[in-house]
């Protein structure tokens, strides 16, 4: 076994231990837990959507406990202001006299839980845009860097519920994954009843130190992405645009280049989690729907017919072939 293979194998073992611990905190959601960790190791932000009480917040809180990262929680409400998130200048006595001193808001942490993010106004939601994209905030013309690594893990209730606002498309595009939390099965509910008490949080152990997490994230970026896989990613994203595929007839606006970068990062993350040195077509298809579904805007007519972005994204996977007869341009010129 080469040194690179040994390193990847060691990282994969630690990640499996992390998954095992998280599955003790959230029963019956192993696939969801795996995708959350995949997105985290890819360096992305994650949006969890589902009805209240399904364990979205508990999963994120358990993740914070298993990692040696500073974490903070923001409960989004209609009266929350942008400064409540980013921080505000406060008039204080200093050695030079009275002056405004910037007081950091809860956004200054490694892992930020944005709970029920779509209960705040669009103005407050937009305060996260710069932070999620550039890992910094600007207040009154002064830029303040955020800690590294920096992750936003947000929960939202379905838009049909009372007191919710749709997230701006620009903010949705900043999330690597949108994951749907489904209701529990009868067997899972029985396990919850037997092993949980109201108001008592599950106990989880710390699995990864901050340094170990940073090493794994750095290793993800070194995973090899073959040219044919990169070409598949490019064709998938291109197929989300009107006129580029049959499935796109339902689409008004397709995915951005950020979606292609996200697909590549998530595919490499999944490859490392499985102990492999290179990403594959299977890695791309496994993460494509969570990456694409919130970046697809459907026509009004398609929504009236009951079609969903998730359904359209799944159709794209069926329609777009993994390989074409022609070589990708990156290979054809060699």
Q: Which two tokens stand for residue 93?
A: 């006595």
Task: Give me the pLDDT at residue 292, please.
Answer: 95
β strands within the chain, DSSP E: 45-49, 71-75, 87-94, 97-104, 111-115, 136-139, 142-145, 151-156, 175-180, 251-253, 297-298
C-alpha 147/C-alpha 144 separation (Å) is 10
Task: Give me the pLDDT at residue 129, please.
Answer: 86
The angle at the Cα of 156, spanning 150 to 158, to the nearest 5 degrees, equals: 155
Task: Give me the pLDDT at residue 334, please.
Answer: 42
Return the SS3 of 197. Answer: coil
Q: How many CA atoms lie within 13 A of 176 on its CB side?
A: 25
Task: Give me the pLDDT at residue 183, please.
Answer: 83
C-alpha 151/C-alpha 132 separation (Å) is 8
Residue pair 179/46 in contact (Cβ under 8 Å)? The answer is yes
C-alpha 56/C-alpha 64 separation (Å) is 13
Count of residues for the chain? 334
Residue with tokens 């860097």: 145
β strands within 150-288, DSSP E: 151-156, 175-180, 251-253
C-alpha 17/C-alpha 257 separation (Å) is 33
Residue pair 228/278 in contact (Cβ under 8 Å)? The answer is no
Q: Which two tokens stand for residue 231?
A: 């070409």
Using CA atoms, how far residue 190 sits from 51, 53, 54, 57, 178, in Å, is: 19, 15, 14, 20, 28
Residue with tokens 């893990």: 153
Residue with tokens 């697909």: 263
Using CA atoms, how far residue 301 sits from 113, 251, 304, in Å, is: 35, 10, 5
**Structural domains of the chain, with CATH:** 1-222 (3.40.50.300), 224-329 (1.10.8.80)
β strands within 232-296, DSSP E: 251-253
Residue 123: φ, ψ to 5°: -60, -40
Q: How many CA atoms lie within 13 A of 20 on its CB side?
A: 10
Per residue of the chain (334 residues), give pLDDT as tens: 788 888 899 999 999 999 999 998 888 889 999 999 999 999 999 999 887 777 788 888 888 889 888 888 899 988 898 889 998 888 887 777 787 788 898 999 999 988 888 888 888 888 888 889 889 998 878 889 999 889 999 988 776 665 677 788 888 899 999 998 888 889 888 888 888 877 777 888 899 988 899 999 999 999 999 999 999 999 999 999 988 888 889 999 999 999 999 999 999 999 999 999 999 999 999 999 999 999 999 998 888 988 999 999 999 999 999 887 555 555 444 4
The candidate with the shortest Cα–Cα distance to 142, out of 98, 84, 100, is: 100
Q: Which two tokens stand for residue 207?
A: 């699995």
Task: Give me the pLDDT at residue 159, please.
Answer: 67
Residue pair 133/174 in contact (Cβ under 8 Å)? The answer is yes
Return the SS3 of 160. Answer: coil
């Amino acid at each position: 076994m080469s040194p690179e293979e040994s390193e990847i194998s060691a990282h994969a073992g630690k990640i499996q231990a992390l998954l095992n611990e998280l599955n003790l905190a959230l029963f019956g959601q192993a696939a969801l837990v795996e995708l959350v960790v995949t997105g985290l190791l890819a360096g992305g932000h994650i949006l969890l959507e589902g009805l209240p009480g399904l364990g979205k917040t508990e999963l994120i809180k358990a993740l914070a406990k298993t990692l040696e990262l500073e974490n903070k929680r923001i409960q989004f409400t209609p009266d929350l202001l942008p400064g409540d998130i980013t921080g505000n200048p406060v008039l204080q006595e200093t050695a030079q006299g009275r002056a405004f001193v910037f007081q950091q808001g809860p956004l200054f942490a490694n892992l930020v839980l944005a709970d029920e993010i779509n209960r705040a106004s669009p103005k407050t939601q937009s305060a996260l845009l710069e932070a999620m994209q550039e890992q910094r905030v600007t207040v009154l013309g002064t830029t303040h860097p955020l800690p590294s690594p920096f992750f936003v893990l947000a929960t939202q209730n379905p838009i049909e519920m009372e007191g919710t606002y749709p997230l701006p498309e620009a903010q949705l595009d900043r999330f690597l994954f949108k994951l749907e939390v489904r209701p529990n099965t009868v067997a899972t509910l029985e396990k919850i009843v037997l092993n949980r008490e109201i108001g008592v949080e599950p106990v989880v152990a710390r699995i990864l130190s901050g340094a170990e997490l940073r090493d794994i994230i750095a290793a993800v970026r070194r995973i090899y992405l073959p040219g044919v896989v990169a070409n598949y990613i490019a064709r998938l994203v291109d197929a989300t645009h009107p006129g580029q595929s049959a499935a796109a007839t339902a689409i008004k606006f397709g995915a951005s280049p950020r979606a292609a970068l996200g697909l590549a990062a998530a595919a490499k993350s999944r490859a490392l989690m499985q102990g492999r040195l290179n990403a594959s077509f299977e890695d791309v298809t496994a993460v494509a729907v969570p990456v694409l579904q919130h970046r697809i805007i459907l026509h009004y007519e398609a929504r009236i017919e009951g079609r969903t972005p998730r359904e359209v994204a799944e159709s794209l996977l069926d329609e777009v072939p993994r390989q074409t007869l022609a070589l990708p341009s990156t290979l054809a010129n060699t």
